[in-house]
Structure 1
Amino acid sequence: MPRQHGPGGLEKPSLRSAAAALTSLLALAATGLVAGPAVAASRDAGPCALPRTAAHHSLGLDTWNSAYPRPDHRLDAVMVFLSFPDSDPVVTPEVLAADYFPSTTRFFRRASYGRFTLRPHPQRQWTPMPRPSTSYGIQRDWGSERRSDYLRDAIEAADERTDFSGYDIVYLVADPDAPGVDSDATKVVNFDRPVRADGADIRRVVTVFEEHPPDRNVLAHETGHVFDLADLYHRPEDGKGDWDTYVGDWDVMGSQFGLAPDLLGWHKWKLGWLEGEEVVCVQGAADLTLEPMAGVPLPGASLGTRLAVVRTGADSALAIEARGATGNDRTTCAEGVLVYRIHNAKPSGGGPVEVLDTHPDSDACWDRSVYPPLADAPLREGERFTVPGERIRIDVADRTRSGAWTVRVATGV
């Protein structure tokens, strides 16, 4: 990614061997992915829902990839803190846990409208690693052999006091002050074959190498991958240039530094947080009142319409949603109606989402935005936009007293 129960968890009564799991670990491919069987979605996806493809983290949503936990209920996460013999930790596990929680739990609770709770179980003490931090060669583009060594040692060390069968998500947090720890190496590692430990399959772990304090929203970004969400940033081939040309500030999967980091409506639809009348498939023309994506309604109140979708091809769609300065988007640079393309066959990091700049001759928030040309991308009241290459026109009439936007979407124009 660009530069970008209670504490203590479940305890084991005694040390148990993890030899079988570690044997599997040695055979892992660090960036591999198990496709997993498909299961029917719990909602009527409708004609605008793109099918899931073989692309890594495909944004197709007609079925759910059961190799990933679906965040439509409470999930438990263990946070293991790893120390090394070449460094005495400066901060405590309690302090490091507070870097990430409860803020990450709050992010997902707001994003899901209370439909998902991430419950952390940070361990109270350091888990000693058997080798110096410098011996693992930790870095962004990490060789699979050394990464395997690190994961093998970490899970073997943690297995003494951690019952992995009690958790849905595993965070391995390295001592940020150890000399061999590189904050640019934070990422999710997927196993080609699940690691078997304590009668449970571990399909992936989140390896955290952040500084203290860490990047803003970094754990929300990485946890999004655990839920089969794609990277929305663009990585330049030479490592130079802009990373955020695809979506700018408009989703935490694009940048954890984004000014409007709430998940896009398409992501929320995929995760099961939007359904029924909250998503409208436009065929022909429609007059809509779009509630702001990050706005959380009062308890018991309807979410209202949050996402409008126009199918543009066998593997593409256009999404339309409102973004306002509330909830996870409270620091946004601009408010209005955001328009973006979805490509279900493009893989993570390959541009599966493209935010359309409805104001190509201007930019905004140079002092704060991760990509100012897209910071003012949303349409404002009274504006009209015809989607390039498509016979689709979007008119934003006005904004209601409650903060929603009145929008007309017409196809075939």
Structure 2
Amino acid sequence: MRGQQPPGGVERPRLRTGAAAFTAFAALAATGLVAGPAVGAPSASPCTLPRTGAHHSLGLDTWNGSYPRPTRALDAVMIFLSFPDSEPLTTPAELAADHFPATSEYFDRASYGRFELRPHVRSDWTPMPRESGAYDIQRDWDSGKRAAYLRDAIAAVDARVDFSLYDIVYLVADPDAPGVDSDATKVVNLEHPLEVDGTEIKRVVTVFERHPPDRNVLAHETGHVFDLPDLYHRPADGKGDWDTHVGDWDVMGSQFGLAPDLFGWHKWKLGWLSRAQVTCVQGPAQLVSLEPTDAPPTESGALGTRLAVVRTGPDSVLAIEARGATGNDAETCTQGVLLYRVRNGAASGDGPVQVVDAHPDTQACEDRSVYPPLADAPLGEGETFTVPGTGVRVEVADRTETGGWTVKISPPVVD
């Protein structure tokens, strides 16, 4: 970790798929599928990192077809699970309101209106056959007990839900059941997809959140459904700072971040930014006018340039974008030009993105930021910074009439 009703007649009884189908749950992986087929390659560019076999690779020359790409409306079913050892203290409608419409609104803003997440919320509790403690729910879940939980949940609700109608499955447990651990919320990927109702279920979002839940938690987990990686750093002992890689700057780092909008690189990967909105900086210094990635499009629908990229190696780039105080970033601590490194071979949780701190000797918003040393990472007007280890020099000149940022980017001189 770290609604609306479905249309009439959608959920109807039908022939059962058979118990044998559930044997696919025997092989589960909480952290991923193997690299899937490549589809939808964007225009070739020297700044387009190739996708690798790393889990949730941030290479974007191709799309991993094992994941739904959010360039069209996607339907999500939200199912509520109760247990025989606990009478729910909340209603499904109350729990659904914890996540929707907020999660759909988050993605509408992040995608510039190009993606719609449509929730279909069950109005009743689905009884599980075993007590909550029998599943030993926890963050690092035993695979066998996790498989039993998913098997029981799907079997319990399958008579009333046609899974072939949905792209995403949210299983929400009664938050007040004694065996439910709120730290266990995550996406479970099926190493061997399960066929139910003539469709393959490749992953399930298991929700164990308190009521009310952590801020933006479902947006974070849904990001994994779209092949986005964890950007936080998990200490070996589980203690210490988790947010040293990106701080507040992307919901895939922390759902509590002050600026949780997705990085421009993520938006490019997901298909919300096209090559026309990305400047690949090569050769001599280049002047770029960057519109904030969190700002909505103009009335005409134009986005302008939202991302600049400098290739820094065979498997890495330096990304440069402007961040404002609009949209998902309305509560940001600071505004300015943000720099970050992207590595296509780094797996989820291994630092595929690292924000460059342009003010390493200071910090900001100690009372609100998840990681104050990076809260003031962006460059402001009139500031210049040379990125260590790359030789890339970034100079911020002024603001444009539209609120953009004029930036001079100078790649290192190659003899």
Q: Above 0.5 in TM-score?
A: yes
1:135-173 Cα distance to aligned partner (Å, 9 max, x none): 100000001011011000011111010100000000000
Q: Does 1:387 align with 2:409?
A: no
Secondary structure, counterpart of 2:322 in structure 1: strand
1:349-386 Cα distance to aligned partner (Å, 9 max, x none): 00000000000010000000000000000000000000
Are 2:32 and 2:55, in contact at CA under 8 Å, matched by a contact in 1? no
Q: TM-score, normalised by structure 1?
A: 0.97
Are 2:34 and 2:53, in contact at CA under 8 Å, matched by a contact in 1? no
Secondary structure, counterpart of 2:28 in structure 1: coil
Equivalent positions of 1:237-248 (< 5 A) are: 237-248=236-247
Alpha-carbon distance between aligned partners in 2 of 1:187 and 1:30, rounded to the nearest angstrom = 8
Alpha-carbon distance between aligned partners in 2 of 1:156 and 1:178, rounded to the nearest angstrom = 20
Are 1:282 and 1:308, in contact at CA under 8 Å, matched by a contact in 2? yes
> Residue 63 of structure 1 aligns with which residue?
62
Report the CA distance between 1:45 and its aligned residue. 3.8
Q: Does 1:141 align with 2:146?
A: no
> Residue 83 of structure 1 aligns with which residue?
82
Equivalent positions of 1:238-277 (< 5 A) are: 238-277=237-276
> Residue 208 of structure 2 aligns with which residue?
209
Are 2:316 and 2:341, in contact at CA under 8 Å, matched by a contact in 1? yes
Secondary structure, counterpart of 2:410 in structure 1: strand
Paired letter, 1:411: P
Paired letter, 1:94: A
Secondary structure, counterpart of 1:332 in structure 2: coil
> Residue 376 of structure 1 aligns with which residue?
376
Alpha-carbon distance between aligned partners in 1 of 2:21 and 2:73, rounded to the nearest angstrom = 26
Alpha-carbon distance between aligned partners in 2 of 1:302 and 1:29, rounded to the nearest angstrom = 41
Alpha-carbon distance between aligned partners in 2 of 1:115 and 1:33, rounded to the nearest angstrom = 27
Alpha-carbon distance between aligned partners in 2 of 1:365 and 1:45, rounded to the nearest angstrom = 40
Alpha-carbon distance between aligned partners in 2 of 1:31 and 1:387, rounded to the nearest angstrom = 32
Alpha-carbon distance between aligned partners in 2 of 1:138 and 1:403, rounded to the nearest angstrom = 48
Are 1:31 and 1:191, in contact at CA under 8 Å, matched by a contact in 2? no
Alpha-carbon distance between aligned partners in 2 of 1:279 and 1:218, rounded to the nearest angstrom = 29
Are 1:171 and 1:206, in contact at CA under 8 Å, matched by a contact in 2? yes
Secondary structure, counterpart of 1:201 in structure 2: strand
Are 2:17 and 2:196, in contact at CA under 8 Å, matched by a contact in 1? no
Are 1:30 and 1:147, in contact at CA under 8 Å, matched by a contact in 2? no
Secondary structure, counterpart of 2:147 in structure 1: helix
> Residue 109 of structure 2 aligns with which residue?
110
Alpha-carbon distance between aligned partners in 1 of 2:223 and 2:14, rounded to the nearest angstrom = 33
Q: Does 1:158 align with 2:150?
A: no
Are 1:18 and 1:156, in contact at CA under 8 Å, matched by a contact in 2? no
Alpha-carbon distance between aligned partners in 1 of 2:58 and 2:32, rounded to the nearest angstrom = 18
Alpha-carbon distance between aligned partners in 1 of 2:53 and 2:137, rounded to the nearest angstrom = 30
Alpha-carbon distance between aligned partners in 2 of 1:267 and 1:54, rounded to the nearest angstrom = 17
1:98-140 Cα distance to aligned partner (Å, 9 max, x none): 1100000000000000110000001010111000001100000
CA distance 1:396–1:30, shift in 2 (3 Å): closer
> Residue 345 of structure 1 aligns with which residue?
345
CA distance 1:18–1:156, shift in 2 (3 Å): farther
Equivalent positions of 1:260-299 (< 5 A) are: 260-284=259-283, 285-299=285-299
Are 1:364 and 1:372, in contact at CA under 8 Å, matched by a contact in 2? yes
> Residue 402 of structure 1 aligns with which residue?
402
Are 1:34 and 1:191, in contact at CA under 8 Å, matched by a contact in 2? no
Report the CA distance between 1:40 and its aligned residue. 3.6
Are 1:295 and 1:324, in contact at CA under 8 Å, matched by a contact in 2? yes
> Residue 171 of structure 2 aligns with which residue?
172
1:64-102 Cα distance to aligned partner (Å, 9 max, x none): 000000000100000000000011111111111111000
Give the root-mean-square deviation of aligned CA atoms: 1.3
> Residue 38 of structure 1 aligns with which residue?
38
Report the CA distance between 1:15 and its aligned residue. 6.5
Secondary structure, counterpart of 1:124 in structure 2: strand
> Residue 301 of structure 2 aligns with which residue?
301
> Residue 365 of structure 1 aligns with which residue?
365
Are 1:26 and 1:152, in contact at CA under 8 Å, matched by a contact in 2? no
Secondary structure, counterpart of 1:305 in structure 2: coil
Secondary structure, counterpart of 1:270 in structure 2: helix
- Aligned pair count? 410
Are 2:49 and 2:316, in contact at CA under 8 Å, matched by a contact in 1? yes
Q: Percent identity?
A: 70
> Residue 232 of structure 1 aligns with which residue?
231
Are 2:34 and 2:55, in contact at CA under 8 Å, matched by a contact in 1? no
Alpha-carbon distance between aligned partners in 2 of 1:59 and 1:32, rounded to the nearest angstrom = 14
Paired letter, 2:162: D
Paired letter, 1:323: R
> Residue 218 of structure 1 aligns with which residue?
217
Report the CA distance between 1:391 and its aligned residue. 1.9
Report the CA distance between 1:399 and its aligned residue. 1.3
Q: Does 1:183 align with 2:182?
A: yes
Q: TM-score, normalised by structure 2?
A: 0.97
